[in-house]
Structures are given as structure tokens and as C-alpha cells.
Structure 1
Amino acid sequence: MTIDGKIAKEGDKILFTRNGIEMIGEVFKVREESVIVSISKADAYLINVETPLTVVSHKNYQIITQ
């Protein structure tokens, strides 16, 4: 669960840290233990990944808009 015990839904904006960089992404798909998040191409480049989709554990994000 997230810090406040809530799990994000598809379309929610979340705040998370990847490679020491805080970023905001939109939840694309909710899984049992994690969410798949869409980030900007610029953020994907910053964290050195080839796709703008990344996986974030429910333990490692904060919901900023629902």
C-alpha cells in the first residue's frame, strides 16, 4: 500500500522517485503489487529507459490527483 493506504486507479497522477529523480506519471494499468505508469519521453531519457512506461510498486508512490 502507499503511505496513506490508498491504491492509485487508472488515470491518477502519482509522484515517485526513480534513480534519485522525483517524477510525476499517470497510472496506465493497475496490477496486484504495482502500477504501470506512463511518463514523459524526457523523463524516460533522464532515467535512461527506452520506453515511457515504467513499473512502480504500490509501496513507492504518492497519489497527487485522482
Structure 2
Amino acid sequence: MTVNDKMAKEGDKILFTRNGIEIAGEVYKVREQSVIVTISKNDAYLINVETPLTVVSHKHYQIIN
């Protein structure tokens, strides 16, 4: 993925890759260097995280909405 020309805002849908799996999620909170994203419980299981919240750097997502 490429560096974003614009940062996502809360509520935006984004696409990112984690552990070789492409995942769609919704931005929950925007931070200076990253966003906190809500993903499905199934996707959380697939990437082996305990909660449906994950952090994604602004450099590693694509806005899809």
C-alpha cells in the first residue's frame, strides 16, 4: 500500500493488510501517527488479536469510502 495523500477521519472505512490478510475496518479514533480501527470479530480472530480494535499507521491504509 502507499502513503495516503489525506488522513482518514473518524467513521471513514479503510482497507489495510495485516499478516498477509486484507482487512476492512472503520476508523474509531484518529491519532497523530495512526488510527484506531474497529474490525470484525472474525477478522480479529484471523489476525490473532484479542479485541476488534487495532492500530494502523497512517502510512499503511487506504480510504475506501
- Give 3-state SS (helix, strand or coil) of 1:9's partner: coil
Aligned residues: 64
- C-alpha distance after superposition, 1:19-55 (max 9, x if no partner): 0000100000000000000000000000011000000
Q: Percent identity?
A: 81
- Give 3-state SS (helix, strand or coil) of 2:27's partner: strand
5+ residue gaps, structure 2: none
TM (norm. structure 2) is 0.94
Instruction: Supply the distance in 2 between the matched residues of 1:4 and 1:10 (Cα, whole angstroms).
Output: 15
Query: Cα offset for 1:4?
Result: 4.1
TM (norm. structure 1) is 0.93
Q: Is the 8 A contact 2:4 2:61 kept in 1?
A: no
